[in-house]
């Protein structure tokens, strides 16, 4: 659903220009320094990028699913690190609060996330709880007016720079699976919370990811999201479809970018006395990218509109995440092919970096295999 076409067009035009004038020219620096320069973070904050999905009442833009997807497809045409910098605030690091936080919790935390004054993150995954997220072992035991957290999280995006952590922990050790799990907002300064150094990753330089350790970490009981124990996992599931559509949109942008790069190269590069764009086998690579990008874009927007209309999109959202992340991988691979050797050598072209960045999409927020299982389960049920 688009609430105000003119306002959305203005936002998309602003993002499009920002990506080309600010973000793309800074990509090499981000790669070299493994960080987004502070002035660019401040610029993104001033432009309201951190608050896209947070309701207007708390200082955000309150974008609908369709508006958010369209914005994501623009922003993600720059290297993934840029959208990952704001992405936890406009996604996994705020959604639990938006969905199930009490009024007091929302007014305390959401304005800081919307303005970019604070960076959020979602701490769900653990060593023993990856695809099987409900196997998490971090505990939260009530002691007076605090919950004491103990455990270790791994692979947490933005943990090294986060101020507010949405943490899933087991409040009822007797109840295995989802029902014993609660969600908390934990502030960085809380004693007993420590964050590991950022990992060395295959790609997405500038997007820090690390482990978090909780050791006798006292979290005020007032920070239990929704003031209710045992519903933390249900809270994250509630916003899962939105996340999946959002991530799918974030796979479309990089694919558009890589095709743009491949097309420009195919026009420039001459072999056998003509631009390689004139060879039909190169054209086939380009056509396959373009066809899949169009299919992915249409799928995401259609699913977003359905969700905005209040329809159940559990099946479609999983299809979006599965198809778009796999599509982006195929586009990345073909784009490298169009570049030839220059696609493999970082000194020549950004495509080597964009290819590495894209590999993660098929792994997080549900691996492709987990989505295949989910799609099959929902299909066989009907």
Where do contacts with ligand FAD occur on this chain (CB under 6 A)? 121-125, 130-131, 155-157, 201, 209, 360, 363-365, 367, 369-370, 373
Reported as half-sphere exposure (CB side, CA atoms, 13 A), residue 235 has a value of: 31
Point out the residue whose Cβ comes nearest to ligand FAD: 130
Residue 163 CA to residue 127 CA, distance in Å, equals 23
What is the three-class DSSP state of 53? coil
Three-class HEC string of 288-305: HHHHHHHHHHHHHHHHHH
Provide the minimum distance between the beta carbon of 159 and ligand FAD in the complex, in angstroms, as a whole number.
Answer: 8
Provide the minimum distance between the beta carbon of 122 and ligand FAD in the complex, in angstroms, as a whole number.
Answer: 5
The label of the residue with tokens 């659903």 reads 1
- Closer of 348 and 364 to ligand FAD (Cβ): 364
- Measured N-to-C along each axis, helices 280-308 and 314-339 cross at an angle, to the nearest 10 degrees, of 160
What is the three-class DSSP state of 357? helix
Provide the minimum distance between the beta carbon of 349 and ligand FAD in the complex, in angstroms, as a whole number.
Answer: 24
- Closer of 122 and 349 to ligand FAD (Cβ): 122
Provide the minimum distance between the beta carbon of 1 and ligand FAD in the complex, in angstroms, as a whole number.
Answer: 28
Provide the minimum distance between the beta carbon of 360 and ligand FAD in the complex, in angstroms, as a whole number.
Answer: 5
- Closer of 279 and 364 to ligand FAD (Cβ): 364
- Sequence-ordered list of residues with C-beta below 8 angstroms from that of 293, at least 6 positions apart, any chain: 252, 255, 256, 259, 327, 331
Residue tagged active-site, from 27, 31, 126, 365: 365
- Closer of 102 and 367 to ligand FAD (Cβ): 367
Task: Supply 151's token pair.
Answer: 């455990």
- Closer of 105 and 125 to ligand FAD (Cβ): 125
Contact criterion met (CB below 8 Å) for 89 and 161: no
Provide the minimum distance between the beta carbon of 363 and ligand FAD in the complex, in angstroms, as a whole number.
Answer: 6
> Does 365 qualify as catalytic in the annotation?
yes
| Distance linking the first and last C-alpha atoms of the chain | 27
Contact criterion met (CB below 8 Å) for 81 and 207: yes
SS3 content of the chain, % helix, strand, coil (to 5): 60, 15, 25
- Closer of 99 and 370 to ligand FAD (Cβ): 370
Residue 298 CA to residue 307 CA, distance in Å, equals 14
Strands (E), the chain: 120-123, 139-143, 146-157, 164-170, 181-187, 193-195, 209-220, 270-271, 274-275
Contact criterion met (CB below 8 Å) for 101 and 225: yes
- Closer of 124 and 255 to ligand FAD (Cβ): 124
Contact criterion met (CB below 8 Å) for 329 and 322: no
Provide the minimum distance between the beta carbon of 377 and ligand FAD in the complex, in angstroms, as a whole number.
Answer: 11
Task: Kindly list the catalytic residues.
Answer: 365
């Amino acid at each position: 659903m688009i609430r105000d076409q003119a306002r959305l067009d203005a936002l998309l035009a602003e993002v499009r220009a920002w990506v080309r004038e600010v973000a793309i020219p800074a990509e090499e620096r981000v790669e070299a320094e493994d960080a987004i320069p502070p002035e660019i973070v401040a610029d993104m904050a001033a432009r309201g990028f951190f608050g896209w999905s947070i309701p207007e009442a708390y200082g955000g833009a309150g974008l609908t699913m369709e508006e958010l997807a369209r914005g994501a497809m623009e922003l993600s045409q720059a290297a993934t690190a840029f959208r990952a910098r704001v992405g936890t605030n406009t996604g996994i690091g705020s959604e639990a609060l938006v969905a199930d936080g009490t009024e007091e919790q929302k007014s305390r935390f959401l304005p800081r996330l919307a303005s970019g004054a604070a960076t959020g993150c979602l701490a769900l995954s653990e060593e023993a709880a990856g695809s099987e997220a409900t196997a998490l072992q971090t505990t939260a035991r009530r002691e007076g007016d605090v919950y004491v957290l103990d455990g270790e999280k791994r692979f947490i995006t933005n943990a090294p720079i986060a101020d507010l952590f949405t943490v899933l922990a087991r409040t009822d050790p007797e109840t295995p699976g989802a029902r014993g799990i609660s969600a908390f907002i934990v502030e960085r300064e809380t004693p007993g919370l420590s964050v590991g150094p950022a990992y060395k990753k295959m790609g997405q330089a500038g997007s820090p990811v690390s482990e978090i350790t909780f050791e006798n970490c006292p979290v005020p009981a007032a920070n239990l999201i929704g003031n209710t124990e045992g519903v933390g996992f249900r809270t994250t599931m509630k916003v899962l479809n939105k996340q999946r559509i959002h991530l799918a949109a974030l796979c479309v942008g990089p694919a558009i970018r890589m095709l743009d790069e491949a097309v420009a190269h195919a026009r420039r590069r001459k072999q056998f006395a003509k631009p390689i764009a004139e060879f039909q086998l190169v054209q086939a690579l380009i056509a396959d990218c373009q066809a899949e990008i169009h299919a992915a874009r249409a799928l995401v927007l259609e699913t977003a509109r359905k969700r905005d209309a209040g329809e159940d999109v559990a099946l479609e959202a999983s299809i979006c995440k599965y198809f778009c992340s796999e599509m982006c991988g195929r586009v990345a691979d073909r784009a490298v092919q169009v570049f030839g050797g220059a696609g493999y050598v970082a000194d020549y072209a950004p495509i080597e970096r964009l290819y590495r960045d894209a590999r993660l999409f098929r792994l997080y927020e549900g691996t492709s295999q987990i989505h295949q299982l989910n799609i099959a389960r929902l299909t066989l049920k009907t």
